[in-house]
Structure 1
Amino acid sequence: MPEDQLPDRMPRRRSIHTGPECAMKPSVVPWSAIAALTIVSTLAQMGQFGIGFIVMPVWLAHQGLDTQRAGLFAASQWAGMLAGLVTAPAIVARIGAKKTVSLGLTASIAAFSAANWISWPFWIVPGILTGLGIGMRWIANESWLFSLVPEEVIGRVIGLHETLISTAGVIAPALAAWCGPEGPLTVVAGLSFTSAAAIPLWLTASGHSTGPITCEATVPGGVRTKPVSAPLCLGMIVVAVGGIIDGALYGLFPLYAGARGMSDTQATVLLSYLGLGGMALQFPVGWMADRVGLGLTVIVCAMMSTLSLVTFALATPMTWLFTASGLVVGGMNSAFLTLGMYAAACSEKIALVRNMRLVSLAFTANAIVGPLVVSAAMTVFGNGVLVWPLAIASGALVVFTFGICEGKREH
């Protein structure tokens, strides 16, 4: 039977490689390729996000950035990521996933290379390039990676993947605290981690260079895309809240730390605690989603996020309660992204690239809005107000998701 006459119950998997035909899903799970692509994500995240998004704002604060300019720089990074997410599917369809990831790494390498030689307002350019590199790598590498994972273990694999990339939030700030965030090591570390990610990428077998993921945008005549599913819609809302918190918290944290009386070293140590929480809690979150479903897991994580943010705002800095709250804040905010990836990977496998793009766009668009809105509030009410808008956003997610679950129960 010709492929264009296949019934709807037999979904067609299509690859995003540049050839005219698409590969079918391999019968044997390519665990070596999954491992290699996970290493790519981990190393790239250390450089692009750990150094670029977490440590660079601290480094720039030493160059004299005030609250408003820090918010603009953070927004420029997320705007660059948004551009990368929008353009990545078309680039992948044209040149393949492996080369698209390479372009993303190259953009971030160029950003770190230029940072030491320019000043404000030209720092906006490295900010955009860093975000652009993450966006391209995110879509190309993770769509390829998750398409290779068996569905019955997808939650746990995503949880493990997010655990490993969350090490960026621990290692990068710890390295900055040890060597001094204001020194040249910040830029060197960003260059080194990002460049190292290219090694496992190009050692991955060429037979797995694109992965069995959808290329509907490149098929002549197009492939009819199914409507967005309810779990995917919830995943987009969850990552939207996560984006608001991520963008504001990491982009403006140095100013918040100063308002709470913390030194630069204490600020970078606390950032490591946020990252450690993100690293420790992602596998349990993925396991819980596999066992009890997306909705209940979102409610539990959002409730924990709200309570920990309130406690973080009220506790005395650098006490055990303050650092413990930081661990939970970091873990739950990373959990929002993990749950969004889970929703994308479990919904409509025939449109995995589309799912990943929708989730990542929801995350990134709100990560742009987050630092702009919260920095405006900080300008009016003081830098110490940072955490309260984030607690409100997380609490609203609890109410919204609980309402959805109750509505389904009534019907």
Structure 2
Amino acid sequence: MPARLFLKSTSIPPATAMSLALVNLASFVSQVIQIGVIDTLLPLALTNAGLGEQHGGMMLSLYWIADLVGGFFVAAILRKTHPAIPLLISSASFCLLIAVVMYAPQSVWVLPATLFAGVGLILRWVICDGLIVQLAPRDKVGRVVGFHETLMGLGIVLGPILIGWLGDDAFAMSGLAVLAGVIALACAFFLPTIEMASTGKGAGAALRRWMDNWDLVVIALVAGFVEICFLSVLPLQAQRDTGLADAGLWMAAVFVFGGTVCQPLVGYISDKAGPTKLASLCFGLLLIGAVPMAVAGYGVIAASIQFILGVAVAGLYTAAVLIAASGRGQGYQVGVLVIVSQSYTLGAIVGPSAGTSLLVMVGSWALPVLVLGAAGLSIGLLMLRRQS
């Protein structure tokens, strides 16, 4: 049924629609665990095990560091293997991490399992995103990618909700991870081989792309920094304030839900005003919502603020992708789009450690301070770019 609905709404040939449906399903179930669950569960479980909030934030940062480092080697793997191999590694890695964190959070196996899972994340990320772009008809790339990104947002939303329901049941959480892994692997056997391409090779070419597109680095880095920081810190903050993490888990879900359901609005604004103005608007929303968030508590007003902030963060990432895809008049640039994902990952690495460290020092003002600093500095840098 989902494949038929997808086919009907986009008029994509049946064989292509089926392949896209399988990629979306594999990516969605993996996203639920790899980002939706792990980004929240890892610091929360380690903190509850008595290892401290800073330790949990540091471990989540290492998860994203492994993702970033793995990105420099993943292309060589994908060129030589069928998607089933990297998705098998990906599924095994997140199943292992969930089991270790739930059953033995104080063991020495947490670190290697975290690093292994980070590599598994980048394998799935690249293989699924690459196949989505490869399979999408040229005149429908935007709609196909938009559908995929909506599913990715829903996957992140489901993570905190599932932790709220099953987070204390080690067997249930481990079983959920295994189920997701089996589904992803089953889909992988029916997928085509990805066609790898790049715009330039070598450290020099990569460095030039980063320098030429530093504004994209700023936008995507802030998106990753704020999003992963919120997912990891909100439950810990609620636990400090109320004694329970549940309120923070629901706030995290509302935060991601805002960015997910408002993707059509974000796209409309970009079409009318351009992605650069979209980014400026999103930075403005972050500045407006930062201070009220500190005093709003965990009720309806707080949820409304989190919803708006979620829209802003999702809009930043979308703006960065659209600017990169436009190539500033030079066409579709794969290398520049890679910069967007790497910059997001850099932000995700710094976010949890910064957020949990500041949480210890200033409590509920940690997230507002970080948002004000990141958004304010970014606006200043982008104004310099516009004047140059």
Q: For this structure pair, what is the TM-score category when the shorter chain's length is used for normalisation? A: 0.7 to 0.9
Tell me, yes or no, if structure 1 residue 36 matches structure 2 residue 22.
yes
Aligned alpha-carbon RMSD (Å): 3.2
Q: How does 1:116-155 map to 2 (within 5 A)?
A: 116-120=102-106, 121-150=108-137, 153-155=140-142
The residue aligned with 2:53 is: 67
CA-CA distance at 1:103 after TM superposition: 2.6
Select 2:314's aligned residue among 334, 346, 359: 334
Q: TM-score, normalised by structure 2?
A: 0.83
Q: What per-residue deviation string (whole Å, max 9, x for no partner) do you get for residues 382-411 of structure 1? A: 464233212320233233334434x37xxx
Of residues 174, 181, 185 in structure 2, which corresponds to 1:187?
A: 174
User: For the Cα contact (< 8 Å) 1:156–1:287, is it kept in 2?
Assistant: no
Which residues in structure 2 correspond to 1:206-225 (within 5 Å)?
Answer: 206=192, 209-211=193-195, 213-214=196-197
Match of 2:10 in 1: none
Deviations 1:87-127 (A, max 9, x none): 21121123255533443233223322433443335322232
Distance 1:343 1:40, change over 3 A: farther
**Within 5 Å, which residues of 2 pair with 1:385-396?**
385-396=366-377
SS in 1 for 2:80: helix
Give the paired residue count: 371
> CA shift at 1:145, angstroms?
1.4
Q: Is the 8 A contact 1:98 1:141 kept in 2?
A: no
Given the alignment of the two structures, is residue 109 of structure 1 paired with residue 95 of structure 2, yes or no? yes
C-alpha spacing 1:188/1:311, structure 2 compared with 1 (3 Å): farther
Tell me the alpha carbon deviations over residues 206-226 of structure 1, each in whole angstroms, 9 at most, x when there is no partner: 3xx214x515679xx9xx889
Question: Which one has the bigger helix percentage?
Answer: 2
How do residues 204-283 of structure 1 correspond to structure 2 at under 5 angstroms?
204=191, 206=192, 209-211=193-195, 213-214=196-197, 228=209, 233-261=214-242, 263-283=244-264
Report what 2:147 is aligned to.
Answer: 160
Counterpart residue type for residue 197 of structure 2: T
User: Matches of 2:331 and 2:174 in 1, distance apart?
Assistant: 39
**Preserved CA contact (<8 Å) 1:81 1:132:** yes
CA distances 1:323-373 after superposition (whole Å, capped 9, x unpaired)? 101112223223333333334444366752x33432222111222122223
Q: 1:182 to 1:32 in 2, by over 3 A?
A: same
User: C-alpha distance in 1, partners of 2:61/2:40?
Assistant: 13
Counterparts of 1:102 and 1:244 in 2: how far apart (Å)?
Answer: 29
Contact in 1 for aligned 2:321/2:340 (Cα 8 Å): yes
Q: Label 1:46 to 1:402 Cα distance change in 2 as closer, same or farther (>3 A).
A: same
Percent identical = 18
Runs (5+) with no aligned partner, structure 2: 1-12
8 Å CA contact 1:108–1:133 kept in 2: the answer is yes
Aligned twin of 2:68: 82
- Which whole-Å deviations, capped at 9, do the CAs of 1:251-284 have from their partners, x for residues lacking one? 2333222233362222222222122112212232
Cα distance in structure 2, aligned partners of 1:283 and 1:89: 31
Q: Which residue of 2 aligns with 1:8?
A: none
TM-score (norm 1): 0.79
Specify the SS of the correspondent of 1:64: helix
Where does residue 8 of structure 2 map in the other structure? Answer: none
Counterpart contact for 1:169–1:278, Cα < 8 Å: no
